[in-house]
Amino acid sequence: MVFRHNVVEERLAFLQETLKELSFLQKKSKEELLKDTTHRWAVEHGLHLAAEALFDIGNHILVGHFSERAVGYDLVLNALARVDVIPLALAQRFEKLGGFRNILVHEYMAVNFNKVYERLQNSLPDFDRFITEIIHWMKKNLEIR
């Protein structure tokens, strides 16, 4: 696969929009979200979409620019850190994101909303930092303005 910066830029824009919506829901209490199925589902789906976008961006960079494939979601971020796309500390902040994504997708009937709410409250700045790091890497390495 050939690296295409527009693919990454489209996914970054999608991720930014997803985070914007999640930040609106982040202001609601856990009790409010538990009472409102639509908002609860929006949080779960939004976090799932954010994770998918992050992994898609990472995989596209790894395969398209470095000709490297990470086997497994959690390895994508470690591989990005190894090739100096993102800091290792940021990769470690997302350490369990692949497992969280798998629970949302495959074990959807047994989702622990306490964990979902915790991720909603604590992980949005990490996604923002990921976006910043990817943009910085692209500008530095791909001569993109």
Token couple for 115: 């964990």
Domains in the chain, number: 1
pLDDT mean over 81-92:
97
In this predicted structure, the answer to whether residue 100 has a pLDDT above a threshold of 80 is: yes
Domain with residue 25: its CATH number is: 1.20.120.580
**For 104-113, how does the pLDDT look when each residue is reduced to its tens digit (9 = 90+)?**
999 888 889 9
CB-based contact 44:107 (threshold 8 Å): no
Three-state SS string over the chain comes to: CCCCHHHHHHHHHHHHHHHHHHHHHHCCCHHHHHHCHHHHHHHHHHHHHHHHHHHHHHHHHHHHHHCCCCCCHHHHHHHHHHCCCCCHHHHHHCCCHHHHHHHHHHCHHHCCHHHHHHHHHHCHHHHHHHHHHHHHHHHHHHCCC
Structural domain harbouring 72:
5-142
pTM: 0.92
